[in-house]
Structure 1
């Protein structure tokens, strides 16, 4: 089940990661606007999304390896931090947009913003929960491997 979740995350992260940077690129190239400091936010979201994509790509086989009791490859802590940052940024962005919903006048605008906000919130929460779950599984796997190594050293006491 975890492997399927990882594949779904890989597929969903691609458009969500590239969309903010794509919008900024479109605005800069075709609308001929000047680059403003607030445009760093979507650029940063895209960079974090790409790092999260790399993290999920590197950890895509972890669930299979956990079942086989194989040695897990090491993922750099920087990618863990950037993946968690990606989830936090999407949660904060969606909560900020929910806060801004108070200023909308019509239900149609409200519905349009909710259609955009709900996937952001779900993606942020899902990314954080998956990172937490994967970290817990890695700790359990390492603990079990250490115990089996100790049992191999001891041998049978009977």
Structure 2
């Protein structure tokens, strides 16, 4: 499995648990968490980063509104997170991102500070891989095989780079 980055915990002011409503927000906490799981990012020269989201007033909120430290790059800034319905709403949200491999369930986070909610993390930058083995010929010899691969990623890595990293892992 290739390394990647994902949000591993969320803290929303005045929201004690994941089954709560977020004051002034159309979506509940569970819907917000589902949207955050789709957030794709790269962490450069660090394994952990804290991001902030401060929202004032009504309107849609996207990943582009997240304040990130210099070592974090959000790949899908147009990702919809939630809509604030109340004009007088003010929200403070902290997102903790970490690097890892594969999938890490929220239960693996252990004890977190009160108010910090664990999130299932999908670290893998690979979404899907398909391959096909075809017969091919080289010169007069026709009994060679050729492998054709299709690699879909989440945008944090190029398919060619993913294949190169996977090949390097296999040869080690």
Q: Write 1 or 2 for the structure with the bigger share of strand.
A: 2
State the TM-score, normalizing by the size of structure 1.
Answer: 0.27
What TM-score results when the alignment is normalised by the length of structure 2? 0.26
Larger RCO: 1 or 2 (CA < 8 Å, sep 6+): 2
Structure with the larger helix share: 1
